[in-house]
Structure 1
Amino acid sequence: MSAPAKVLLVEDQFELRDLLCDVLQDMGMEVRTADDGNAALRILEEWPCDVLFSDIHMPGGVDGLALAATLLERHPEARVILASGHPRYQLAPLPAGTRFLQKPFRLGQFTDLIREALPA
């Protein structure tokens, strides 16, 4: 049996973060959560994830784009899904290979993107 996929979930809205964490755990994944980019960077120092799901706009000075770039520099094999309430055309370019999820989204859209991002 293989180890569960490791997902870092970064979301500043705690209700959404808790809901998505529960969904990921129900899918059999090992999940760590952070409420901002700085907390996520501290987690990544000790716990490289397979998949990063992050809001783009967060408090604290480290947004989802910077977080994704840092992760991909250290672990180019990682998969990244970024979410925002802003349409994609209003955002800075996403790192290569990054998936985008427009908020608000349905849980089915979230779980589909997570499954697609999982290592084979």
Structure 2
Amino acid sequence: MNAPLRVLLVEDQEDLRELLADVIQGTGAEVRTAETANAAMALLHEGYCCDVLFSDIHMPGTLSGVDLAEHVQRTLPAATVILASGHPRFQLAPLPGSALFLQKPFRLNQFMELIQPRP
């Protein structure tokens, strides 16, 4: 049996964070949540390894979702990195490496398609 997918979900909107966490857990995946990139970075520095990082780009704190994505791509190169924003992609700075982009608001099925493990 395969180990459950480990998802690090970073979102400052509490309602959205809780909804997405519930949906992911419903698939049997393990979810850790953080409301800021700083809190997520602390989890990673404590040794948490994720298979998928989902993060909003603009959040309170000193780190952005892009900072977090760059760190995960350096330290966990096999992880899928998904960045989300309410701003259209053309208004944003270039995304790091192989990061995927999800425009807010999004549908749950769009979100779930992105976090599914790649063969």
Q: Who is 1:27 aligned against?
A: 27
Percent identity of paired positions between Structure 1 and Structure 2: 60
Query: Separation in 2 of the partners of 1:15 and 1:29?
Result: 19
Query: Separation in 2 of the partners of 1:17 and 1:99?
Result: 18
Aligned residues: 118
Task: Indicate conservation of the 8 Å contact 2:54/2:83, yes or no.
Answer: yes
Post-superposition, which runs of at least 4 consecutive aligned residues in structure 1 deviate over 6 A?
none
CA displacement at 1:76 relative to structure 2: 1.1
Q: Who is 2:79 aligned against?
A: 78
TM-score, normalisation: structure 2: 0.96
CA displacement at 1:119 relative to structure 2: 4.6
Q: Who is 2:100 aligned against?
A: 99
RMSD: 0.8
Query: Separation in 1 of the partners of 2:118 and 2:7?
Result: 11
Q: Who is 2:2 aligned against?
A: 2
Q: Does 1:58 align with 2:56?
A: no
- Gaps of at least 5 residues in structure 2 are none
Between 1:70-79 and 1:6-15, the stretch displaced more is 70-79
- Gaps of at least 5 residues in structure 1 are none
